[in-house]
Amino acid sequence: MSHVVIVGAGPAGASLGYLLSRRGIEVTLLERRRDFAREFRGEVLLPGGITALEQMGLKTQLAALPSYAPQTLEIFLNGIPLLSESLNTDSGEEALFKAVSQPALLEMLVAESTNSSSFNLIRGASVKELLRHDGRVAGVRIRVDDAEQELQANLVVGADGRNSVVRKQAGLLAGNATLPMDIVWCKLPCPENWRGVRAYAGRGHLLIAYHTWDDTLQLGWVILKGTFGDLRNRGIEQWVEEMANHVSADFAEHLRTHRDAVQKPFLLNVVADCVDRWSTPGALVIGDAAHTMSPVGGQGINIALRDAIVAANHLVPALAVPEPDGNTLTAALAAIEAERMPEIQEIQTLQAQPPKLLLSNAWWGEPVRRIAAMLLSRPAIRQRAAGRVSAFLYGVTEVQLEV
């Protein structure tokens, strides 16, 4: 039987490990961390990601995770309300937006995988190098507890995120679309009646605040790239004051009252890229390792889960055989890339547009933002904008688990 080594137990690697091992394929999932309780990472699940988990048979398990489904989306321009939409679906049964604890999600995925005897998770295992045999990737060299060892595999899947070692070692190259922003993430106590998501745009800033899974308020403050050093030097008080100057009066008061309670400020260096090729014989990259997603539209986890489904659809037939054939496997890897690329390209193109408009400090920035706001009040334009939002919510292509 085939042996697949998956590097990285983020949403992409943990879900692919679950899917392959459930079909009897030997999986070794390698995670360099000992636990998943790590710094703040993406925690937004949209219908595309929720459906992906449901297709995996994990609906009940997902419902049991710590989560919060915000009910409204309000958009403000220069502190003034511009738009207010319900986030409840017509049926009221499905959430359009769910904030889910990512550590809990990952622990659930690996716990479910351990029901398969063909699944093995090694925590604290850091991949250092790819091994090669006859021109193919044939395994990995790992370091666990200061000792190195080698693992042989029919396939190595790099699901090791934005700084992927597998991507580098396999020689997979990415073009980098520079985005003009970074994001400061932090948490605050949640105002009592805050049930939704608010986005405050204008004057070179974008601030997003939502009620999250641990009943705190998660803040993402989008700033111009390279300005965090200056912000940090000015200290947290000044920093919160700056945010308060960009929001509505009620929220400004909340920010000022709770400025000493800011938790876990963290800078996310925003990167967006995509490798030219997702595979080389014997190795494949998926998730952020293949295409690091900008945080615009909360796409990262959703896309990673959808990658895992498409990868499983093609890998199971190629690998669930006694003697896997190298050429069949190589064709399966190419098919995964071909199926996923259209969605990634379209989503990344859509993601690149709002920051350019919202953050521009050029003389034309403010007038253009005002015109955009005015246009958004017209039904035909809102319908067109809704089409773009729909790509973020549901994805662009049909993704259906078939194995």
> Between vectors from CA 346 to CA 220 and to CA 286, what angle results, nearest 5°?
75
Given a contact cutoff of 8 angstroms between Cβ atoms, the answer to whether 351 and 297 are in contact is yes
**β-sheet bridge partners, residue 113:** none
| CA–CA distance, 340 with 335 (Å, rounded to integer) | 9
Cβ neighbours of residue 191 under 8 Å, at least 6 residues apart?
217, 251, 254
Taking residues 127 to 146 in sequence order and writing x for each that binds ligand FAD by CB under 6 A, - otherwise, the string is: x-------------------
DSSP string, 171-219: T--EEE---SEEEEEEEEEPPTT--SEEEEEETTEEEEEEE-TTSEEEE
From 196, 204, 265, 287, residue interacting with ligand FAD (rule: CB under 6 A): 287
Q: Closest distance between ligand FAD and the C-beta of residue 31, in Å?
A: 5
41: which DSSP letter? -
Choices 226-234, 290-298, 310-318, 387-395 (CB under 6 A): range interacting with ligand FAD: 290-298
Amino acid at 276: D
Count of residues engaged in binding ligand FAD, rule: CB under 6 A:
34
Instruction: Please measure the distance between the N-terminal and C-terminal CA atoms of the chain and give it in whole angstroms.
Output: 17
Over the window 295 to 314, marking each residue x when it contacts ligand FAD by CB under 6 A and - when it does not, the resulting string is x--xxxx--x----------
**Residue 252 corresponds to which amino acid?**
A
Alpha carbon distance 139, 360 (integer Å)? 46
Q: Is 120 in the site for ligand FAD (CB under 6 A)?
A: no
x/- letters, 39..58, toward ligand FAD (CB under 6 A): -xxx-x--------------
- Three-state DSSP at 247 gives coil
Q: Which of 26, 112, 160, 343 binds ligand FAD (CB under 6 A)?
A: 160
Give the nearer residue to ligand FAD in terms of CB position, either 295 or 324: 295
Q: Are 270 and 224 in contact (CB under 8 A)?
A: no
Given the rule CB under 6 A, which of 70-78, 91-99, 155-163, 350-358 is the region that contacts ligand FAD? 155-163
Q: Supply the DSSP string of 46-93, one letter for each residue.
A: -HHHHHHHHHTT-HHHHHTSSEE---EEEEEETTEEEEEEE-B-SSSS
The residue among 13 and 395 lying less far from ligand FAD, judged by its C-beta, is 13
| Interface segment toward ligand FAD; rule CB under 6 A; list 93-101, 291-299, 316-324, 393-401 | 291-299
Q: What is the Cβ-side half-sphere exposure of residue 290, based on CA atoms within 13 angstroms? A: 30
Q: Which helix (H) or strand (E) holds 150?
A: strand 147-152
In the complex with ligand FAD, the residue whose CB is nearer, 223 or 373, is 223
Bridge partners of 31?
A: 123
204: contact with ligand FAD by CB under 6 A: no
Site string for ligand FAD, 79-118 (x = CB under 6 A): ----------------------------------------
155 binds ligand FAD (CB under 6 A): no
CB-wise, 78 or 126, nearer to ligand FAD?
126
* DSSP H stretches of helix in 287-378: 300-319, 326-359, 365-376
Least distance (Å) between residue 317 CB and ligand FAD = 23
Q: Shortest Cβ distance from residue 305 to ligand FAD (Å)?
A: 9
Site string for ligand FAD, 344-383 (x = CB under 6 A): ----------------------------------------
Closer CB to ligand FAD, 23 or 33, in the complex: 33
Q: Given the complex with ligand FAD, which of 301 and 319 has the nearer CB atom?
A: 301
Q: How far apart are CA 154 and CA 170, in angstroms?
A: 15
Query: Helix, strand, or coil here: 31?
Result: strand
Beta carbon nearer to ligand FAD, 30 or 316: 30
User: Which 10-29 residues touch ligand FAD, going by CB under 6 A?
Assistant: 10-13
Residues within the interface to ligand FAD (CB under 6 A): 7-13, 30-33, 40-42, 44, 126-127, 159-161, 165, 185, 266, 268, 287-289, 293, 295, 298-301, 304
